[in-house]
Chains A and B, each alone.
Chain A
Amino acid sequence: MQAKDGVIELLNKILTADLTAVNQYFIHAKMCGNWGYERLHAKIRERSIDEMKDADDLIGHLLYLEGVPNMQRLSTVQVGETVPEQLKVDLKAEQDMLKILSDGIVHCTKVGDFTTRHMLEDMAEDVDAHIDWIETQIETIKQVGLENYLAQQMKKEAS
C-alpha cells in the first residue's frame, strides 16, 4: 500500500527513537543487574523488550507501506553512571518519544492515515505507562532516600 505524505519519514523517525531506547534500556538493565539490583534489572529489561516490540510493529508497518525501514540510524544513547542518572535520562527519552508520537498523531490525522494514527496512539499509551513508572521511582527515592530505595531493589519482585 502506498503511504500518505510524510508518513514513511515519520515512522522512520519513531523507529530511530525506539531502536535507541532499546539499547539505552538494555545497558541500564544490565548495569543494574551487575550492581545486584535484581528488581530494577528485571523491570528495565522488560522496558527494553517493550521498545523492541514497538520497533517490530514499526518495521512491519513500514514494509507494508512500501517504505524502507531505517535500521542504520541511532540517536545518542544516554548512559547514566548511577541509578538516579539512569532514571533521569530514561525519563527524558520517554518525554521526547511522547512529543514525536503526539506530533505524528496530528500529522496522521491531517493526511487521513487512521491505521498509522491508531498504532501511534497505542504506543503513546505505553509511553505514558513508562513515564508513570519512572516518575514513581524518582518520587520514591525522594521520599525514602536513595539507600533505602536501592536496598529494596536487591530482591526480585514477587510475581
Chain B
Amino acid sequence: MYICLCKGLTESDIRQAGEAGLTEPERLITRFGWDDSDCCGRCADHIDCAATLAAESLPCFAACPARSSSLT
C-alpha cells in the first residue's frame, strides 16, 4: 500500500526507516518531510500509525521481550 500520497511513500519506505532505527514520531516527520507546506497533513496527524509500522520493523522487534508489554 501507498501510505503517503503527498510524498509518494509506500509501507516499505516506512519499514526501511524503521529498520534503520528511525521510530520516533518527530524523527519520522523530519525524515519524510511530513511538516512541509505541500503536505495535506494527514500523515503528521496519524503519525502514530507510521511510528508503529516503523517500530515493528526494528531488527530487534521480533525478539524483543518487552514487545508484548509495550504494545498493549
A residues contacting B by CB (< 8 A) are 76-81, 85, 89
Contacts and interface: CB of A to CB of B under 8 A. Distances in A.
B5 interface: yes
B25 to A, nearest CB: 19
A80 B5 CA distance: 11
Contacts of B1: 78-81, 85, 89
B16 interface: no
A89 B2 CA distance: 11
Contacts of A77: 5
A89 B3 CA distance: 12
Majority secondary structure, B binding face: mixed
A6 B1 CA distance: 35
Contacts of B10: 81
Interface size class of B (residues with CB under 8 A): under 10
Contacts of A76: 42
Contacts of B5: 77, 79
Given A77-B5, A78-B1, A79-B2, 10 more contacts: A76-B42, A79-B1, A79-B5, A80-B1, A80-B2, A81-B1, A81-B2, A81-B10, A85-B1, A89-B1
Interface string B7-18: 000100000000
B70 to A, nearest CB: 27
Nearest to A74: B40
B49 to A, nearest CB: 11
